Amino acid sequence: MLSKLIATGRPLLADGATGTNLIAAGLASGDCAELWNEAHPERIRALHQSFVDAGADIILSNSFGANRRRLGLRGLGARAKELSRLAAQNARAVADRAGRPVVVAGSVGPTGEMLAPLGSLTEDEATEIFAEQIEGLREGGADVVWIETMSALEEARAAARAAIAIGAPYTATASFDTAGRTMMGLKPADFASAFDDLAPAPLAVGANCGVGAADLVVSVLAMTEANPDAVVIAKANAGLPQCHEGHVHYSGSPELMGRYAALAIDAGARIVGGCCGNTPAHVAAMRRALDGRQHGPRPDLAAIEAALGKLVAPPAANGGRRRRRSREDAP
């Protein structure tokens, strides 16, 4: 279904945050969000419904950490496939009654472990771990595997190979949160073509999470310049998290995220949405920004910062790593 929506040529809108919105719905800090697929399916479905009502074309299942290694830290490793299936079923139930095409994207996050030679996990082991999760997502009705928040290219490719082995279409995004690179040093320009040798290639590649909307749009610019033919995803955080009286809030308003959505499309993204901190109100603002809008000129850094605020972790001019700005400098 995602490939058909991409073929229409119109900008597609993905949903907002899962974790931060579940915390607002009562998920306690440190609790397992994936268990809510079983314990509180009505709350999971209500979140999906809120994003559909806000205009999302794509909703992500509550399965980001539903792999054997991450769940194993809670003694739940053996339930990886089951919880992934339940996550997809909850999203599927909402999508099927939307009255319009809504894609169920099966969220697949990192294992939480370092791959060899930096760690003990091999690529083959990682592929097996992801395959188990993806099998559950497919059984639950996911239309596409949504590989996200990756830092290491080897791990992203392991997840991609797992999807290919199962026969599932897939997308892949990384988090460029360290001076314009991932934590493992991967650059957006390199990620844009990192799967070209795989068959089939991903339906889309892109960036998610990170340190704010401005930085993510800069990553999109780098990707679309390096690979103009790529279908690029932009799924930015709503600013930076800020703690007030024991509660975490994000600095980016719905209005700011609406401006971000428009700039991301102008930068070449075909799919936009929000990651951490993005509520249904943020997604609705993005929908308004996209509807009926004509493409604007490709933005430069000055235009991005004028609309969204200064970069939080700007790329170093010499290719090295630069210290992040303080939170007080965030938009």
- What integer pLDDT is reported at residue 245 of this predicted model? 65
- What integer pLDDT is reported at residue 94 of this predicted model? 98
- What integer pLDDT is reported at residue 151 of this predicted model? 97
Task: Measure the CA–CA gap between 248 and 28, rounded to whole angstroms.
Answer: 13
User: Tell me, what CATH number does 287's domain have?
Assistant: 3.20.20.330
- What integer pLDDT is reported at residue 243 of this predicted model? 74
- What integer pLDDT is reported at residue 241 of this predicted model? 79
DSSP H or E stretch at residue 11: none
Which distant-in-sequence residues (6+ apart) come within 8 Å of 76 by Cβ? 32, 34, 35, 83
Q: Is the dihedral of CA 183, 188, 190, 191 positive or negative?
A: positive
Task: Measure the CA–CA gap between 119 and 113, rounded to whole angstroms.
Answer: 7
Beta strands per DSSP E along the chain: 12-13, 58-60, 103-108, 144-150, 170-174, 204-209, 232-236, 241-244, 247-250, 271-274
- CA 188 vs CA 173, 208, 211, 260, 299: distances in Å: 10, 11, 14, 18, 17
- CA 53 vs CA 217, 255, 256, 273, 280: distances in Å: 26, 18, 20, 14, 8
The strand pair at 144-150 and 232-236 is best described as unpaired
Q: What pLDDT, in 10s, does the model give residues 182-212?
A: 999 999 999 999 999 999 999 999 999 999 9
**What pTM was estimated for this model as a whole?**
0.94
Q: Provide the residue range defining the domain that includes 255.
A: 2-329
Instruction: For residue 103, give the nearest of 217, 31, 28, 14 by alpha carbon.
Output: 14
- What integer pLDDT is reported at residue 327 of this predicted model? 31
Which distant-in-sequence residues (6+ apart) come within 8 Å of 56 by Cβ? 13, 14, 15, 16, 102, 273, 283, 287
The strand pair at 232-236 and 241-244 is best described as unpaired
Which neighbouring-strand residues pair with 104?
A: 59
Structure tokens at 184: 């493992």
- What integer pLDDT is reported at residue 79 of this predicted model? 98
CA 326 and chain centroid, separation: 24
Q: How many CA atoms lie within 13 A of 301 on its CB side?
A: 8
| Number of domains composing the chain | 1
- What integer pLDDT is reported at residue 326 of this predicted model? 34
> One-letter amino acid identity for 159?
A
- What integer pLDDT is reported at residue 209 of this predicted model? 95
- What integer pLDDT is reported at residue 318 of this predicted model? 54
Q: What pLDDT, in 10s, does the model give residues 250-264?
A: 889 999 999 999 999
> One-letter amino acid identity for 219?
S
- CA 130 vs CA 90, 115, 219: distances in Å: 20, 14, 26
> In which region does residue 319 sit, left (phi positive, over 0), alpha (psi from -120 to 50) or beta (all else)?
left
Q: Which residues of the chain have pLDDT under 50?
A: 320-331
- Cβ(155)–Cβ(111) under 8 Å? yes
Instruction: For residue 18, give the nearest of 34, 42, 40 by alpha carbon.
Output: 34
Q: Which residue has the tokens 């603002």?
A: 285
- What integer pLDDT is reported at residue 321 of this predicted model? 43
- What integer pLDDT is reported at residue 249 of this predicted model? 77
